[in-house]
Structure 1
Amino acid sequence: MEKSLSGGRFLLVTVLNVIITIFELLGGLLSGSLSLLSDAFHNLGDALSIVLSYAAHRIGGRQQTRTNTFGYRRAEILAALLNSGVLIVISLILAGEAVRRLLHPEPVKGDIMLLVAVVSFLANLLSTVLLNRGSKHNLNIRATYLHLLSDALASVGVIVGALLITIWQVSWVDPTITILVALYICYESLPIVKQTFGILMEASPDLDFEGIARDICALPEVEGVHHLHAWQIDENNIVVSMHVNMDNVPISEIEPIYRQIEALLCQKYNVNHVTIQAECHRGEDESLFYQQNDWRHS
């Protein structure tokens, strides 16, 4: 996250969302609009999300320690997963209430709904602009940014609904908009949940593993590669470990080969950290990926 996105900007966005939440809660109660109340709950979630996101970023920026040798970057992944998961749960709850409203319509005051929606849209739009820069390369900020963007889009829907209710008195528009916005939020949030869950479960990043093995085996003195592992610390940092079969040469001749492998993986495959175990004949018949019983035959 860029330095410009810390401190002042996060405080401003948090204050904006607290104000919007109170404004929309009052407007939703006065107008009877479910879509305004749903927007208010989303904004409350936004405020909590921003605080959590900022705290996770500060924790993630800490240096590695004896107890956390890879550092604390996973704090931001946890925050992204929590933010997106909460957003999906809230959306589903509000969608259920919207279905109830469709079956049992309630009167809505379109004029109050319209005024509150316009003010909320402008405030949400300002919040998304403030966080837009950091959302492209950070899952934590992207999850928070999606919170804000979803509320801006929800406000647009509420504005349209308020106009229709004011002009034509069609009460079904309000819960329908709530359902559509909830579906959109789930659609945008599920990929983040999937990606963060994959990182936390040590799922392999999208790498050409056969290509990696082929390129490494093409280097001088390298005979084979096995027991290759790859995982992500966060969405930007890939770690790889492997066993490499080499000719029986002194350590002084192995180190330049290590550097070639590290440079290859960094430049061609965007790998940030490599751990290599050199072997002569041990494991030369084993598979590229570790099999649970391989060590018994080494």
Structure 2
Amino acid sequence: MSHNHSHQRSQTNLLVSIFLNIGITLAQVIGGIISGSLALLSDALHNFTDVVSLIISYVASKYSKKSATSNKTFGYKRAEIIAAFVNSASLIIIAIILIKESILRFLNPQAIDSTLVIWLSVVAIIGNGFSVLLLLKDRKSNMNIASAYLHLLTDMLASVAVLVGGLLMKYYEVYWLDSLLTAAIAVYLIFVGFELFKNSFKVLMLFTPSTIEIDDIVARINKLSTVKNMHHVHIWQLNEDEVHLEAEIDFDKDITLSEFDKILVQIEDILFSEFGINHINIQPEFNKTDNKNIIVQD
């Protein structure tokens, strides 16, 4: 399947997941108010963030393919990274709020209509489980889809926890378990959200991808014929598909433009095949008096 078809499929799956989660959220809010279950309301709140995150992911997915213009030379290629950053940050914020509320409820436990909690958690498990399956295939190749997938997966697991808690409350009347489950859900949200938050933050800050060692690249390119010194190197990840490199290269003789083109083809092949860098911009130099350090702060 082509990349465009895969992208279209993921957009359709996101749209289906949005409508599923709108229905789940409305049902859980009403059920949480009627039953008095904080765990159910917290699950509904998380589901609401799912709806928001899925909408963000869907809009970002649509915008990411818009063409570049003279004032947007990269187009909207970073839209999905921004979506992943916002979604992961929202997971952490919601989790902190849930922990606070669970402590307050633990100190003041209340009787809960556990039957309603059980049935609504089953509905949420089925709906979120289906959404998780829809996004399962594309989550590994797209950070934006991964953020939406994590929202849905954690909410499905949260619903499973709420179901278990509802059953225990129904048959053993341990209502404090509602608060404990809420806190456990929140801690898990922080755990899964932080890694995605960190990765998207690194991309937005133009950090060098963790899989790439600049010293190894410089040493490899410096071995090429006529190359004297590779310096002033910048490497960053633009989005899921593009890793960019720009650098200056000193040559040991005053080569012609056609000779440079031949060497450039070699460099491009090495950087792509050995280091996964697919966008390269090289500035050739000869006897230029500038800073020859590998890393130069512009």
TM-score w.r.t. length of structure 1: 0.94
Give, in angstroms, the shift of residue 236 of structure 1: 3.0
Give, in angstroms, the shift of residue 82 of structure 1: 1.0
From 239, 247, 259, give the equivalent of 2:265.
259
From 210, 217, 225, give the equivalent of 1:220.
225
Deviations 1:193-217 (A, max 9, x none): 1111111111121211111111101
Instruction: After TM superposition, list the pairs within 5 Å mapping 1:120-269 onto structure 2.
Output: 120-206=124-210, 207-246=212-251, 247-269=253-275
**Separation of aligned partners in 2, 1:278 and 1:60:** 32
Specify the SS of the correspondent of 1:248: coil
Give, in angstroms, the shift of residue 160 of structure 1: 0.7
2:34 equivalent to 1:30: yes
Give, in angstroms, the shift of residue 110 of structure 1: 1.4
**Separation of aligned partners in 1, 2:177 and 2:74:** 51
Instruction: After TM superposition, list the pairs within 5 Å mapping 1:274-285 onto structure 2.
Output: 274-283=280-289
**Separation of aligned partners in 2, 1:275 and 1:11:** 38
Unaligned runs of 5+ in 1: 293-298
Q: In the alignment, residue 265 of structure 1 is paired with which amino acid?
A: L
**Separation of aligned partners in 2, 1:171 and 1:74:** 46
Give, in angstroms, the shift of residue 291 of structure 1: 3.9
2:45 equivalent to 1:47: no
**Separation of aligned partners in 2, 1:131 and 1:285:** 48
Give, in angstroms, the shift of residue 118 of structure 1: 1.0
Match of 2:3 in 1: none
**Separation of aligned partners in 2, 1:288 and 1:281:** 17
Say whether the 8 Å CA contact 1:224–1:284 is kept in structure 2.
no
**Separation of aligned partners in 1, 2:188 and 2:200:** 19
Match of 1:104 in 2: 108
RMSD between superposed Cα atoms in Å: 1.3
**Separation of aligned partners in 1, 2:201 and 2:291:** 33
Q: In the alignment, residue 104 of structure 1 is paired with which amino acid?
A: N
Q: 1:283 to 1:145 in 2, by over 3 A?
A: farther
Match of 2:81 in 1: 77
Match of 1:296 in 2: none
Specify the SS of the correspondent of 1:267: helix
**Separation of aligned partners in 1, 2:270 and 2:290:** 22
Give, in angstroms, the shift of residue 283 of structure 1: 4.7
Say whether the 8 Å CA contact 2:32–2:38 is kept in structure 1.
yes
Say whether the 8 Å CA contact 1:79–1:140 is kept in structure 2.
yes
Unaligned runs of 5+ in 2: 1-5
2:95 equivalent to 1:91: yes
Q: In the alignment, residue 239 of structure 1 is paired with which amino acid?
A: H
Give, in angstroms, the shift of residue 131 of structure 1: 1.2
**Separation of aligned partners in 2, 1:291 and 1:54:** 37
Give, in angstroms, the shift of residue 71 of structure 1: 2.4
Give, in angstroms, the shift of residue 240 of structure 1: 0.3
**Separation of aligned partners in 1, 2:99 and 2:139:** 27
Specify the SS of the correspondent of 1:276: strand
**Separation of aligned partners in 1, 2:118 and 2:281:** 59
**Separation of aligned partners in 1, 2:63 and 2:11:** 13
**Separation of aligned partners in 2, 1:104 and 1:138:** 43
TM-score w.r.t. length of structure 2: 0.94
Specify the SS of the correspondent of 1:288: coil
Say whether the 8 Å CA contact 1:230–1:241 is kept in structure 2.
yes
Q: In the alignment, residue 62 of structure 1 is paired with which amino acid?
A: K
**Separation of aligned partners in 1, 2:269 and 2:117:** 59
Say whether the 8 Å CA contact 2:15–2:58 is kept in structure 1.
no
Q: In the alignment, residue 130 of structure 2 is paired with which amino acid?
A: L
**Separation of aligned partners in 2, 1:91 and 1:56:** 24
Say whether the 8 Å CA contact 1:239–1:271 is kept in structure 2.
yes
Specify the SS of the correspondent of 2:136: helix
Specify the SS of the correspondent of 2:66: coil
Paired residues, what number? Answer: 291
